[in-house]
Structure formats: C-alpha cells, structure tokens
Chain A
Amino acid sequence: GDSVTQMEGPVTLSEEAFLTINCTYTATGYPSLFWYVQYPGEGLQLLLKATKADDKGSNKGFEATYRKETTSFHLEKGSVQVSDSAVYFCASSGNTPLVFGKGTRLSVIA
C-alpha cells in the first residue's frame, strides 16, 4: 500500500537558520502531496500542497516541490522563526484517505 517516510526528529534550529525536512512517498499512480503542521494543543493545519509533478507548493515562507523522479516532497524554509516550532507531517492522497508520515518535531530557539 501507499506509504510516506519523513525524516525523524526532533530537529532543533536557531532562529533564521535554513530548514529542510525530507519526505519520500510510495504510491500507485500520482498522488497529491501535502504538508500539514500541528502546533501544540491544536489540530492539523494545511501548510501547503502540490497536485502534480514539478508543482511547487508554498505558504508562509515554506516551500516544497513535487519530484516524481525521486518520489520526494521535501519541505524547506530559508529562515525559520521561533513561531515555526511545531510538528510537521508529510502526507499523500491518491483519491484515497490521507496517508501520513510519522511527523517531525521542529524546535526553533532564539
């Protein structure tokens, strides 16, 4: 079945550092890909998405590009802030319920 693998955390960065969280997927066909963010005590919020190969999703300074050749959807941000501290989930959906990775906890320190 479909699966998503993302880098394990926790990840601790200083403010203004560059962030990369790796995500790879296995799926039949070409799923849509998502990054969701979960702040402490809250539900999941959609951060960005891409629905086809070479699409780039972006939001709040975060970006991820749908790479079919490497089956990847890595999340990047050029300069993180303390407020970005949260758990980030990569997910895929090929006209089926979402399949999530295990999540990567990011802590940004001032």
Chain B
Amino acid sequence: DTGVSQDPRHKITKRGQNVTFRCDPISEHNRLYWYRQTLGQGPEFLTYFQNEAQLEKSRLLSDRFSAERPKGSFSTLEIQRTEQGDSAMYLCASLSGGSTDTQYFGPGTRLTVL
C-alpha cells in the first residue's frame, strides 16, 4: 500500500531563506490538498489541485507561497523569504475523484524557521 508521502519530514531554516516541500499522492488520486497545522490547532486549508489545475487557494496562502503540480502527479509547495510565523507542520492529502470523499494524509513536513 503506497500511501501519501512527503519530503522532507523535517526542515530547519533561517528566516529569509526559501524552502520547498514535495508531496507524492496515492497514484490514482487526482485531487491533492495542502494544509498547514500550527501547534495546538487543527489543520487549515491552503490550496488544492485537481490534476494539474490549481482550483482553490485560501487567504492563508500569501504571495510568498506558491504551489505547483506540473504533471498532475506530485506537487511542490514553496515558501519564499520564510518568516518565523511560517513554522508549522505542512500536510498533504490526496483524494480519489471517484465516489469516495475521504482524504488520505501524508506524514507531514515540519518546518522550523529560526
């Protein structure tokens, strides 16, 4: 069972640096979601793709954030000029386009901005 994978699992960076995270969804899933989870909170939606099209973006996704899914398979989330407030767990989830509405989550990438 190849579930959702994310890389890296942990990232420590200095303020002002750029970081990029990768998500590989379950292979037959055409929808891919990014969420952010801060300490003591539930995940909050950032953006979502159907195949390669980015269909929705949250107001949380500032212009320093950009996400891509160029071939409709894996996705990347880039944060430019990181700030300490970006420290969080970044979660990726995928969903089949069929009848099920269950999102399956990856293990997350924990970002620490010093």
Chain A residues with a Cβ under 8 A of chain B: 4, 32, 34, 36, 42-46, 49, 51, 89, 91, 93, 95, 97-103
Contacts and interface: CB of A to CB of B under 8 A. Distances in A.
Q: How large is the interface on B (under 10, 10 to 19, 20 to 34, 35 or more residues)?
A: 20 to 34
A32 B91 CA distance: 20
- Between B91, B103, B108, the greatest number of chain A beta carbons within 10 A of the residue's beta carbon is seen for B103
A99 B104 CA distance: 14
A97 B40 contact: no
Interface of B: 4, 33, 35, 40-45, 48, 56, 58, 91, 93, 101-108
B104 to A, nearest CB: 7
Nearest to B46: A97
A100 B89 CA distance: 15
A102 B107 contact: no
Chain B facing A: main interface SS: loop
A43 B58 CA distance: 21
7 contacts: A32-B101, A34-B102, A45-B105, A95-B101, A97-B56, A98-B35, A103-B41
Q: Top 8 A-B pairs ranked by shortest CB distance? A: A100-B42, A97-B45, A43-B107, A44-B105, A43-B105, A43-B108, A32-B101, A102-B42
A103 B48 contact: no
Contacts of A99: 45
Nearest to B41: A102
Contacts of A51: 101
A98 B45 contact: yes
B43 A100 contact: yes
Contact of B40 (A32, A36, A103): A103
B99 to A, nearest CB: 10
Given A89-B42, A97-B33, A102-B42, A44 B91 contact: yes
B108 to A, nearest CB: 5
